C-alpha cells in the first residue's frame, strides 16, 4: 500500500469514527472489533527466523529456475490478487 493510500484510509477511518463517536453502543462495537482485528494481526506475524527462511527458500527456487517473473506491474498485481 502506498503512503497516499494509507493517508486516505486513515482519513476515512477517522471520519467514520467521528460519525459514531457520540453513540456509546456503536463505539463499544467498534472497540471490540478493533481488538479482534489486532489479535488477528498478531497471530499472522512470523518470526524473524521464519521470514529469512522464506527469503532463503525463494532465492533457492529462483536459482533452480522456479521463480515467477513479471514484465509489468499489472501482471504482478493480478497474480498477487489471485492469491
pLDDT in tens, 6-47: 999 999 999 999 999 999 999 999 999 999 988 887 676 788
pLDDT band at 55 (very low <50, low <70, confident <90, very high): very high
Give the global pTM. Answer: 0.45
CA dist., res. 29 & res. 34, Å (int) = 9
Please check whether residue 19 is in contact with residue 11, taking contact to mean a CB–CB distance below 8 angstroms. Answer: no
pLDDT band at 69 (very low <50, low <70, confident <90, very high): confident
Residue 40, pLDDT score = 80
- How is the chain split into domains, by residue range? 1-45, 46-83
Please check whether residue 47 is in contact with residue 54, taking contact to mean a CB–CB distance below 8 angstroms. Answer: no
Helix axes 24-44, 3-20, angle to 10 degrees: 150
Amino acid at each position: 500500500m502506498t503512503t497516499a493510500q494509507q493517508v486516505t484510509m486513515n482519513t476515512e477511518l477517522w471520519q467514520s469514527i467521528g460519525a459514531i463517536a457520540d453513540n456509546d453502543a456503536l463505539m463499544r462495537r467498534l472497540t471490540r472489533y478493533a481488538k479482534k482485528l489486532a489479535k488477528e494481526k498478531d497471530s499472522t506475524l512470523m518470526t524473524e527466523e521464519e521470514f529469512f527462511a522464506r527469503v532463503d527458500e525463494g532465492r533457492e527456487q529462483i536459482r533452480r529456475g522456479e521463480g515467477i517473473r513479471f514484465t509489468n506491474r499489472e501482471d504482478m498485481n493480478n497474480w498477487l490478487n489471485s492469491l
